[in-house]
């Protein structure tokens, strides 16, 4: 798997995003509360990686939703906070 083949989705809540708006380069920004609205835009033949602020309930609930729709999704353990130096 190459990074160019992966779709990265930032699903942080508004307050978490406002507190630290840096994103992984190339990531899409989607509202976790609206996952039912945007999940259909994601392809089922590519890997989707999601992240939230700390890799907790927000990204886990989005992950469960995407997996139930047949989307090849996974999450970044620890969220974007785990990626900071």
Domains, the chain, with CATH or none: 3-83 (3.40.250.10)
| 54-79 tens-digit pLDDT | 999 999 999 999 999 999 999 999 99
Report the b/e string of 51-60 with b at 16+ CB within 10 A. Answer: bbbbbeebbe
Sheet holding 73-75, edge to edge: 28-29, 6-10, 47-51, 73-75
pLDDT digits (tens, 9 = 90+) for 1-50: 556 689 999 999 999 999 999 999 999 999 999 999 999 999 999 999 99
Q: pTM of the entire structure? A: 0.92
């Amino acid at each position: 798997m190459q990074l160019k083949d992966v779709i990265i989705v930032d699903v942080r809540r508004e307050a978490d995003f406002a507190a630290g708006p840096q994103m992984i380069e190339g990531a899409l920004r989607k509202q976790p509360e609206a996952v039912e609205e945007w999940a259909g835009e994601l392809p089922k033949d590519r890997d989707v990686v999601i992240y939230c602020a700390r890799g907790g309930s927000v990204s886990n609930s989005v992950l469960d939703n995407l997996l139930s729709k047949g989307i090849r999704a996974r999450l970044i353990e620890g969220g974007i906070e785990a990626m900071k130096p």
